[in-house]
Structure 1
Amino acid sequence: MIVPDIPQNAVAVADHYDELDPVYRRVWGEHVHHGLWETGRETGAEAVEALTGAVGDRLRLMPGEVCVDIGCGYGSTARKLAATHRVRVTGFTLSAEQAHYAAAHPAPDVDIHLRDWLVNGRTDASADAAWAIESSEHMVDKPGFFAEAHRVLSPGGRFVVCAWLAETDANGWKVRHLLEPICREGRLPSMGTREEYEAMAMAAGFTIAGYEDVSRSVARTWTICARRLVKALLLDRGTRRLALGARNRIFVLSIPRLILAYRTGAMRYGIFTLSKAREHVAPGGER
């Protein structure tokens, strides 16, 4: 597990997204996650929607199901999947600014909460499906992240996790100059490998139903973000003022690191499809 030299916590994560909210919406838009280029011909907006669609497909969502979006950002993925699959979604975010934006853009069957997933307050077995798109990285207690998802899901529930991952056995310079600074600058308490994620998921009780490394298909995200940010810095005084004076302005340095981390293989992007076992009913009806 890659751990930054300056410890990060939920308060730091919330502050990061609250302070940089105007930049995130200017550069990333409503979806604060990577795009997925399946053919290579998609626009940035189409690629972002493609990742959302890929999550929905892996979850095999059915109309009327109860779902949880862990680290929902502005609620865009929740709104999209609720509309396309006719499911009910409860989202959780640490950012007050993201929660305010979601409240100003309500949608049927979508409910967004300003609350830490690790103390989410949901009852046991209260959801049919859950997803976490690039939010597990911000969890201080990653085993607890998986354990809460397993507790909240009903037997047979599905869970998809899209995660920034460290290269397995990354060598010293990649850790020192790419992965550790990315964690520190991006307010990530830690960054795990595929193997570490799978071990934590299984320890929580999940079965690994699938895994796909889509690093090559998402890496273009950061060159697009870099171009958008440069344009915003040149043309928008508010963005320029925030980028130069914000407490969290150091995140700007992570963009070239992320581009290099993908190109060198130091960082990977994985999609995990997990399932919770169905309850076993013995002959005679005993569980």
Structure 2
Amino acid sequence: MIHPKTVQTTAAVAAHYDDLDAFYREIWGDHVHHGYWVTGRETPPEAAVALIEFLADHLNLAPDLDVMDIGCGYGATARYLAQTRDVRMTGFTVSAAQAAYAATKPVPGVDIRVQDWLTNGLPDACFDRAYSIESSEHMPDKQRFFDEAFRTLRPGGLLGVYAWLSKTDPRPWEVRHLLEPICREGRLPSMGDEADYAAMAEHAGFEIQGQADISDRVRKTWWICLKRVAGKIVSDDRYRRFLLQRSAENRIFALTLVRLLVAYRTHSMRYCLLVYRKPAGAGEGNRTLLASLEG
């Protein structure tokens, strides 16, 4: 597990997204996550939806399921799944700015809350499915992230996690120049590898359903973001003022975009879909586990 030189708290994560709220929506759009390119010719919005569909298919989302979006951002994924898969969605975000924006786009069956997942206060076994899209990285206590997912899922329920992961045994220069700064600048309390996540999930009680490394299918996201940021710096004085504002602690994230692109190019970082299953209760039988997911 890689840890940043300075401690990153949940409050720092919330401040990061509140501070960069307008910039995130202008650069990323409502879906604050990677895109998934199959042909390479998809538009960014198409790629963003493809990432959601890839997840939904591997969680076997069906009508009338209760689904939790852990770290829901602006609620765009929750809204999309409620409308296309006819599921009931609950989303948690620690960013008041994100929740306020989500409230401007209400959709039946979608409930977005400003709430820390690690202290969610939900009853046991209240969801059929749960997922985290690039939010587990922001959890100060990743074991509790898994423990709470296990507790709140019903027996037989599935947890899907899209995660930024470190390669196994990164070299010192990769940690020093890429992975540690990405954690520190991106407000990640830690970054694990696939084995770390598997160990925490199994400790919580989950069975490993499968995994898919889709790093090569998503890394185009960072080229697009860098080009958009560069264009905004040239054309929009707000971006130049923000980058020159010394009191703006999160302005460093512009540099992090470059580090992320290099980290994917050098395979120092991986982007994976990890799927875990809460074992079925007595009398429900056992399902065959998948060794891997089709990429």
TM normalised by structure 2 equals 0.94
C-alpha deviation, 1:236, in angstroms: 1.5
Match of 1:263 in 2: 265
* Farther off after superposition, 171-180 or 236-245: 236-245
- For the residue of structure 1 that corresponds to 2:83, the secondary structure is helix
- For the residue of structure 2 that corresponds to 1:181, the secondary structure is helix
Match of 1:274 in 2: 276
Q: What CA distance in whole angstroms lies between the structure 2 residues aligned with 1:179 and 1:244?
A: 25
Match of 1:47 in 2: 47
Q: Deviations over 1:64-110 (max 9, x none)?
A: 11110000000000000111110000000010100000011111100
Provide structure 1 residue ranges, at least 5 long, that are not aligned to the other structure.
Answer: 283-287
Q: How many pairs were matched up?
A: 282
Q: What CA distance in whole angstroms lies between the structure 2 residues aligned with 1:244 and 1:143?
A: 38
Q: What CA distance in whole angstroms lies between the structure 2 residues aligned with 1:194 and 1:98?
A: 29
- For the residue of structure 1 that corresponds to 2:241, the secondary structure is helix
Provide structure 2 residue ranges, at least 5 long, that are not aligned to the other structure.
Answer: 285-295
Spell out the pairing of 1:110-149 with structure 2 (5 A cutoff): 110-149=110-149
Match of 1:66 in 2: 66
Q: What CA distance in whole angstroms lies between the structure 2 residues aligned with 1:106 and 1:138?
A: 26
Spell out the pairing of 1:43-192 with structure 2 (5 A cutoff): 43-192=43-192
Match of 1:285 in 2: none
Q: Deviations over 1:239-273 (max 9, x none)?
A: 32223322211111101111110011100001001
Match of 1:196 in 2: 196
Match of 1:253 in 2: 255
Q: What CA distance in whole angstroms lies between the structure 1 residues aligned with 2:198 and 2:35?
A: 23
Q: Deviations over 1:15-34 (max 9, x none)?
A: 00000111101100100100
* CA RMSD, Structure 1 to Structure 2 (Å): 0.9
Q: Quote the sequence identity (%).
A: 55
Match of 2:226 in 1: 226
Q: Deviations over 1:32-76 (max 9, x none)?
A: 100010122211111111001111111101111111000000000
Q: What CA distance in whole angstroms lies between the structure 2 residues aligned with 1:128 and 1:36?
A: 25
Paired AA for residue 261 in structure 2: I
